[in-house]
A and B are shown apart, each in its own frame.
Chain A
């Protein structure tokens, strides 16, 4: 009882309030700093694994034998911006490039990784980050719907330029029930990626020896 009444006295002093709030904040800061130290390397490694996985997913397995993550060249695009390309090589010969591109979706940017071989054919496309409506627009993710695999093997003349659109716009690609803007954005982004690749093909591949024999490419 005595202890309790004495505590009430200094409980309401401003100095105790400042000290207790400071102590809690200090403890929280220490806990966060420690957690950051402990988890930092693991988070960085997971992020690199994610990027490496999505880079490899857009190329046919066995079509390259180098480390995509580190083998990059930066080339200036037609708009003057520097773009980073990962180069896939088989026995040292560049066979395809993998690069990131962005579409304007329904609820923000849709980040894509796409692979294009040296003949300008899409080897694969994956969505890495997006904020589309769950249950409708998220069918662009490969694990939820096979739709994104429909780009493999396409090029700027397959289908014809006028048919590079969703069906609703008279094109070749399906839209989803309840979501047209999302697939429209992805189709447009892939097409822009192909156009960029076509413009830059000489710069991307000219430093390399002639193309490999067709057997090397699946």
Chain B
């Protein structure tokens, strides 16, 4: 943080201003600019894996890791990349990072890889990561980009878990089924059977159910945001629109 204060082009800004900026980035990532609900990015991997809340959580964790690394890497090289070749450069960086994460998990965290392996390959086709590299990391210092990666990843995870939980609850009457396979035995308490003797609603687990569920969740998020905006006018809203 202090390094960025001195390295910045303009006059050094007070710490309180930096903190306010970080808080704004986190709020954007989690809610105001949520990758799924507001930007409507990354829908392909989202719909593919959110049959259960556990799968959503696994995909969210893996994506957050790649998003963090990709944002930092792009912010590091941003001054050296000519605008005309920036997209291929970003894609090479992202694809390399995904492959590195895939290889290291396979080699050193093999049990986790057996659960997450399927999701990691899907991250390459996540346009949200390229979107963050282009819209944010290529214009900001490394610290901002790192926080944005974490916040956007957390917001994406939130959306995945919400969608997965909705589909799982309606589709098979459980919540976080097989969570202990992903997180380890201590998390077996998360596995809930909400509706016992439920016959299941196949449509919600198959891909069309994903479209239905995300439609309703998006509508809910819009209603909520509109209501909040009416109650209090957030200070940074105008600049958000301009940047996105």
Chain A residues near B (Cβ < 8 Å): 11-12, 16-17, 20-21, 24-25, 28, 31-32, 35-36, 38-40, 42-43, 46, 49-50, 133-136, 143-144, 177-178
Chain B residues near A (Cβ < 8 Å): 49, 51-52, 55, 77, 80-85, 88-89, 92-93, 95-96, 99-100, 103-104, 106-108, 110, 114, 168, 171-172, 177-178, 181, 199-200, 202, 205-206
Q: 11 A–B contact pairs at CB < 8 A?
A: A20-B82, A20-B85, A20-B89, A32-B100, A42-B108, A133-B51, A134-B52, A136-B202, A143-B181, A177-B199, A177-B200
User: Given the complex of chains A and B, what is the CA–CA distance between A17 and B86 in angstroms?
Assistant: 9
User: Given the complex of chains A and B, what is the CA–CA distance between A17 and B178 in angstroms?
Assistant: 49
For B202, list chain A residues within 8 Å (CB).
Answer: 136, 178
State whether B171 touches A35 (Cβ < 8 A).
no
State whether B177 touches A135 (Cβ < 8 A).
yes
Beyond A39-B108, A49-B110, A135-B205, list 19 extra A-B contacts (CB 8 Å): A12-B82, A24-B77, A24-B81, A28-B95, A28-B96, A31-B96, A32-B99, A38-B107, A42-B107, A43-B107, A46-B106, A133-B205, A134-B49, A134-B205, A135-B177, A143-B178, A178-B172, A178-B200, A178-B202
State whether A135 touches B103 (Cβ < 8 A).
no
For B84, list chain A residues within 8 Å (CB).
Answer: 12, 17
Interface SS of chain B: helix
CB distance from A104 to the nearest CB of B (A): 19
Known: A135-B51, A135-B177, A136-B202. A21 touches B107 (CB 8 A): no
User: Given the complex of chains A and B, what is the CA–CA distance between A13 and B92 in angstroms?
Assistant: 21
From A17, A20, A24, A177, name the one whose CB has the most chain B CB atoms within 10 angstroms: A24
Q: Nearest residue in B to A49 (C-beta to C-beta)?
A: B110
Interface SS of chain A: helix
For A12, list chain B residues within 8 Å (CB).
Answer: 82, 84
Known: A21-B88, A24-B77, A43-B106. A134 touches B200 (CB 8 A): no
CB distance from A137 to the nearest CB of B (A): 10
For B80, list chain A residues within 8 Å (CB).
Answer: 20
Q: Nearest residue in B to A177 (C-beta to C-beta)?
A: B200
User: Given the complex of chains A and B, what is the CA–CA distance between A136 and B95 in angstroms?
Assistant: 32
User: Given the complex of chains A and B, what is the CA–CA distance between A10 and B243 in angstroms?
Assistant: 28
Known: A134-B52, A135-B51, A136-B202. A35 touches B104 (CB 8 A): yes
Q: Which of A17, A36, A135, A136 contacts B82 (CB 8 A)?
A: A17
State whether B103 touches A134 (Cβ < 8 A).
no
